[in-house]
Structure 1
Amino acid sequence: MRRANLQWELLGNNDTMGPTQQYRILRQKMINAERDKALEMRNEGRVDHEVIDSIMMQLDIEESMIVTAEERNAGLRDAGPLLTPEVRQGGCEHLEKAAHDDASPQSHDGCQGCLEEGRTWLHLRMCTECGYVGCCDSSAGQHATKHFRATGHPVMRSFEAGEEWRWCFVDNLPG
């Protein structure tokens, strides 16, 4: 119910819903239609009662998962962006300089290295100096760190929706 790449959800804005929200609404309509059809088949005596019970239980479980995911995501949306704690912000010269860097992302499709290699990433980071989009160290490719080692560009920022923190590779500090 929740996409690994939260940038996908940026396709929605204040006027339109993101793809996951649209999917949940569509799937809820499908569940209702499936439930109606199952009840119709039960009432006509075309299907065994145990089969109908099993179908209804599966639909109820899926519906509860959709509701739970939507409630959780609504709470995350209302919480505001994920920031570095104030006591740790701007802890080095690189982070202070990066606060003024305004690079544009080189890719909106995902991790540039993973896309080239045909891999899947977990979370995206963007170089504040040149806009390179790479994956986090929890991803197999670790392309954000590889970009730092290749270029010496010291600061990456989260490239995930709702996250506004930065990381200095040189001083190993969040900002």
Structure 2
Amino acid sequence: MSRPRTLTSISSLLSRRVPAIRQFSQLSKRHVLVSRRMIRSNPRPIISSRSYVIATDGTNIENLIDQVSDSQYSRIANDYLETLSDDMEELCEDFPQIDVELTQGVMTLTVADGKTYVINKQPPNKQIWLSSPYSGPKRYDLIGGKWVTLRDNTGLTDLLRQELQEELGQEITLSMQQ
């Protein structure tokens, strides 16, 4: 008698739970194994409101990312963070529960109930990293002059606008279009 299998690949689990994932023709060669006992014992759904592209095989990534020098990256990232900080300062006037601080390439944005965003430069990778209280951590590369995550092709400005609108319950405008 064979022993029952206690592990399943997350790709097969997700394809059963999220029909859209079946559309992906190729998954990563690496599979993450998850204990079925853990899945059954977890009352919350495995997938929350976050959306992910399951895998990238790494091809063509360098072709997508804008090739800039260190000084160009620094200028572009600083300009972006300063403009974003100015936009958030304007929001502070209408929404006193918002607090923003930009220091040495790190922006901290606190919204109601102590929920904090941290947006910072990552010069070694030429990226901007976001830590969001709603969507979690993301890494943004400069693609076509815009800060975009390779996971789901979401622009940083668009994600911030969407999440802040949901938090504040009102449409907001950011001067940077992505």
TM over 0.5: no
Name the structure, 1 or 2, with higher relative contact order (CA <8 Å, separation 6+).
1
The alignment's TM-score, normalised by the length of structure 2, stands at 0.24
The alignment's TM-score, normalised by the length of structure 1, stands at 0.24
- Which structure is larger by alpha-carbon Rg, 1 or 2? 1
Q: From the two aligned structures, give the one with the greater helix fraction.
A: 1
